[in-house]
A = this chain, B = another copy of it.
Amino acid sequence: MKWQIDSDRPVYKQLIEQTEQAIVSGIFSPGERLPSVRDLAAEAGVNPNTMQRALAELERSGILYSQRTSGRFITDDEEMIDKLRYQKAEEDARTFFDNMKKLDLSADEIARLLRAIFEEDKDEKSASNE
């Protein structure tokens, strides 16, 4: 998995978010074993302590669990994962909608904007496919 860490926000929070995203988007499968803390930290280019902190929080939320010496695993509970996925989508949508309200964009303007971005994305895809 590839990590995108910037210096705008606490690194451990970015690690939490991106790990959650990797889980809900299927980059990590239910029940799958994760690389070790040290390996993950090296992969992400952060200190092992920081990665440990992020993983510990993900455990508290139940999406991960660790077995003392054999490693750390994604939960088997697929329903929990799907719930998380929808919860994140809803959160993102609400944030987006709030932002648009603050910028005084009408529903029409929002729709037009999104459509433009959607088309643009389709074009990129078809361009890279040939």
Contact = CB atoms under 8 A, between A and B. Distances in A.
A48 to B, nearest CB: 24
How many copies, total? 2
A90 interface: yes
28 contacts: A8-B9, A9-B9, A21-B102, A21-B103, A24-B103, A25-B104, A26-B104, A85-B103, A88-B99, A88-B103, A89-B100, A89-B105, A89-B109, A89-B113, A92-B99, A92-B103, A93-B110, A93-B113, A93-B114, A94-B117, A95-B96, A96-B96, A96-B114, A97-B117, A97-B121, A107-B118, A110-B114, A114-B114
Interface of A: 8-10, 13, 21, 24-26, 85, 88-90, 92-97, 99-105, 107, 109-110, 113-114, 117-118, 121
